Amino acid sequence: MSPEMLTILMFGSLIVAITLGHPLAVTLAAVATVFGLIEFNWNLPILIDLFVNNIWGLFLNYTLVAIPLFIFMAQILDRSKVSEGLFDALYVALGGLRGGLGMAVIIVSTVFAATTGIIGASVVAMGLMAGPALLRRGYNRQMSAGIICSSGTLGILIPPSIMLVIYGSLTGMRETSVGNLFAAAIVPGLFLSGLYLLYVLVRCWINPKLGPPIPLEDRTHSLMQKFVMVSKNFVPPFGLILLVMGAILAGVATPTEAAALGCVGALILAVVYRKFNWEVIKSASLSTIKTTAMIMALFVGGKMFSVVFLGMGGGDVVADVLLGMEVNEYVILVIMMAVVFFLGMFIDWAAILLIVVPIFTPIAMDLGFNPLWFAMLICINLQTSFLTPPFGYALFYFKGVAPPEYTMGDVYKGILPFVAIQIIGLVVMVAFPEMITWLPDLFFGR
């Protein structure tokens, strides 16, 4: 059977199996096994040797140790209720502005993203805290749902991010090392957050009914009281961000070592917020084990899939199709970004990385694209996968904890402007690549 036909059948089988609802890790491994047997003439020992050698090399990757450490840090911070105090403080500080409460949600989610990096934790926490508060203050339900869901997804992009750790370990290139990816993601993440703030500010300024300010009689705090409240609740998590990111960007610690520092810092914050107890440690550890096991299972399945797919010539088939098109290289870039966006509607982000990075990265380099810039475009694109129906995880996280007044229709309609904003942000990053490459060049050199 020709490589072209095997490529089509392998991708088609994967999409069908995922559509039927089978677990991603099992689906990737099963499809890889079937087509690996076809490729190697049903010689099972050779296929097993191929899988074992590649999976063993995967588990020898020191960078992957950062994954359970960052997850544990996020779980401790989630249970320490770091975001609650900051939300209350910003609620008082910004509540007098049109859309101020919505902007407070975005700011808290941005800080929370930089300390946890776990989408479920951010969306659920803000859904529980801000969902009812926005309703009580008369905010438009659709816009409120969009604010919470979209700002919660910033955690997948703003470092420390599990996605960036996985991406860096997949390529094994100096240009896309975890440290470079962390530095490259800071400006895009903050830029998207700024676009969300600008959108809420402008819409509520034009139509105050969408996000009315707090009534005058409820604004009893002085300017100094607001400053003290915000400082008191902002300094501890910001200090943790400086501890983790500063250690990496200053070159004094690897991402794995910085993740360990982050765990220590998270435990100290748990003590400061008086949430440090055996139950917190136990539940955080169990959640860390479950999440890490899920990610590593996806890693194994994805590695099996990519090894077979590339081994039978699937990567060459895709490269020949794209590079053989007599079009501008940016048209090919748009096609690759469109494929990632489409897959994000149906497949988990980790599986998408495991599938597309080994295929698209060599093509991007053949086209002369900066690999770090291209990597960040994929990561920004994947943020939309949490918002785009039918399988946008953030939508279901929010609906599961939101008051019943929020219908699924409200959620779907509310996220549409924010998906458009994410696409606008992606286009800006394509037009101005220095926004991605400037900070890594500053800290680590070209």
pLDDT tens-digit series, residues 393-436: 788 778 877 888 888 888 889 899 999 999 999 999 999 999 99
Domain region containing 251: 3-444
Strands annotated E in 255-349: none
Predicted pLDDT at 307:
84
**Rg of the chain taking only CA atoms, in angstroms:** 22
Across all residues in the chain, what is the average pLDDT? 83
Report the length, in residues, of the chain. Answer: 446
Read off the pLDDT band of 373 (50, 70, 90). Answer: very high
How far is residue 64's CA from residue 87's CA, in Å, rounded to a whole number? Answer: 33
Q: Where are the alpha helices (DSSP H) in 2-81?
A: 3-19, 24-39, 44-59, 66-80
Cα 275–chain centre separation = 27
Predicted pLDDT at 420:
93
- Hey, what amino acid is at 116? T
- Hey, what amino acid is at 34? V
Cα 297–chain centre separation = 18
Predicted pLDDT at 444:
73
Read off the pLDDT band of 89 (50, 70, 90). Answer: confident
| Higher local confidence (pLDDT), 90 or 216 | 90
How far is residue 130's CA from residue 109's CA, in Å, rounded to a whole number? Answer: 11
Give the total number of structural domains in the chain.
Answer: 1
Tokens at 107, concatenated: 């700011």
* pLDDT tens by residue, 342-368: 888 877 787 788 888 888 988 999 888
How far is residue 444's CA from residue 354's CA, in Å, rounded to a whole number? Answer: 26
Read off the pLDDT band of 338 (50, 70, 90). Answer: very high
Check pLDDT > 70 for residue 106: yes
Tokens at 410, concatenated: 């409200």
